[in-house]
Amino acid sequence: MKNTIKIFLGILAIGFVSCEAEFDNRVDEDGFYTSGTANLSNYVAVGNSLTAGYADGALYITGQNNSYPNIMAQQFAKAGGGEFTQPLMADNTGGLLLSGTQVAANRLVLAVDDQGNPGPVTLEGTPTTEITTSATGPFNNMGVPGAKSFHLVAPGYGNVAGVSSGASNPYYARFATSDNATVIADAASLSPTFFSLWIGNNDILGYATSGGAGVDQTGNLDPSTYGSSDITDPNVFASAYSAQVDALTATSTGGVLINIPDVTSIPYFTTVPVQAIPLDAATAGVVNAQFGLYNTQVLPGLVGAGVISSDEAAARQINFVAGVNYPTIMDDDLTDLSVILQGPPFNLDPITAGLLGQLRQANDNDLVVLPASSVLGTTPDPSNPLGVVGVSIPLEDRYVLTAVEQGRVSTAAASYNATIQALASAHDLVFLDARAALARVASTGVPYDAGMLTSTYVTGGAFSLDGVHPTPRGYAYTANLIIEAINGKYDATIPKVNIGNYGTVTATNN
Partner 1 sequence: MKKVLLLAVFALATAVMYAGGYRVSLQGQKSLAMGHTGVAVINSSELVFFNPAGLVYLENKLNISAGVSGVFSNVSYQNEATGAATMTDSPTGTPLYLYASYQANDWLAFGLGVYTPFGSEVAYEDDWAGSHLVNNIELAAIFVQPTVSFKVSDHLSFGGGPIYVIGSVNFNRNLNRTLTDLDGNRAEVTIDASGITKWGWTAGVMFRPTEDLTIGANYRSEIILSAEDGDADFENVPNSPLTPFADTTFDASLPLPAEITVGLSYKFCKKWLFAFDYNRSFWDVYESLDIDWADENIPDSQNLRNYKNASTYRFGLQYEATKMFTLRAGYYFDESPVQAGYFAPETPRNDSNGYTAGLTFNVGDRFQVDASFLYLRFKEVDASYDYYFENGVAAPFGGQYKSNAFVPGLGVTYKM
Classified as helix, coil or strand, 345 is: coil
Q: Which is nearer to partner 1, 417 or 480 (CB)?
A: 480
Q: Are 340 and 302 in contact (CB under 8 A)?
A: yes
DSSP state at residue 190: T
Residue 330 beta carbon to partner 1: minimum distance, rounded to whole angstroms: 38
Residue 273 half-sphere exposure toward CB, CA atoms < 13 A: 7
Residue 123 three-state SS: coil
Measured distance CA(177)–CA(464) in Å, rounded: 31
**Dihedral angle computed from the Cα positions of residues 301, 306, 311 and 312, in that order, rounded to the nearest 10 degrees:** -80
Stretch that binds partner 1, among 4-12, 247-255, 322-330, 368-376 (CB under 8 A): 4-12
Residue 300 bridge partners (DSSP): none
Chosen residue from 164, 295, 421, 496 binding partner 1 by CB under 8 A: 496
Number of residues that bind partner 1 (CB under 8 A): 50
Q: Is 28 in the site for partner 1 (CB under 8 A)?
A: yes
Q: How far is the CB of 471 from partner 1 (least distance, A)?
A: 10
Q: Give the Cα separation of 109 and 66 in Å (integer).
A: 17
Three-class DSSP category at 427:
coil
Q: Report which of 424, 474, 351, 431 is spatially closest to residue 50, judged by C-alpha positions.
A: 474
Q: Which stretch binds partner 1 (CB under 8 A): 57-65, 295-303, 341-349, 434-442?
A: 57-65
Torsion of CA 329, 335, 341, 346, to 10 degrees: -100
Query: Amino acid identity of 88?
Result: L
* Calpha distance 185→178 (Å, rounded): 11
Site membership for partner 1, residue 498 (CB under 8 A): yes
State the nearest-atom distance from the C-beta of 85 to partner 1, in Å: 18
Among 100, 280, 289, 449, binds partner 1 (CB under 8 A): 449
Stretch that binds partner 1, among 23-31, 253-261, 266-274, 408-416 (CB under 8 A): 23-31
**Interface region with partner 1, contact rule CB under 8 A, candidates 11-19, 97-105, 258-266, 310-318:** 11-19
Q: 216: which DSSP letter?
A: B
Instruction: Work out how close the CB of 96 gets to partner 1 at its nearest, in angstroms, rounded to a whole number.
Output: 18
Piece of the chain touching partner 1 by CB under 8 A; list 6-14, 162-170, 305-313, 348-356: 6-14
Q: Which stretch binds partner 1 (CB under 8 A): 19-27, 199-207, 283-291, 354-362?
A: 19-27
The one-character DSSP state at 271 is S
Q: Which is nearer to partner 1, 425 or 508 (CB)?
A: 508
Peptide bond into 138 cis (omega under 30): yes
Binding residue for partner 1 (CB under 8 A) from 34, 41, 85, 92?
A: 92
Least Å from the CB of residue 132 to partner 1: 24
Select 34 or 352, whichever has its Cβ closest to partner 1: 34
Does 24 sit near partner 1 (CB under 8 A)?
Answer: yes
* Helix ranges, 341-500 (H): 350-356, 403-426, 434-443, 472-490
Q: Given the complex with partner 1, which of 118 and 162 has the nearer CB atom?
A: 118
Cα-trace Rg, the chain = 28
Closest CA to 64 of 80, 105, 196, 74: 74
102 in contact with partner 1 (CB under 8 A): no
Of residues 452 and 485, the one with the C-beta less far from partner 1: 452
**Of positions 4, 224, 347, 383, contacts partner 1 by CB under 8 A:** 4
CB-nearer residue toward partner 1: 36 or 211: 36
Question: Residues interacting with partner 1, by CB under 8 A?
Answer: 3-4, 6-8, 10-11, 14-15, 18-24, 26-28, 33, 61-62, 65, 75, 78, 92, 109-112, 116, 118, 123, 449-451, 473, 495-498, 500-504, 506-509
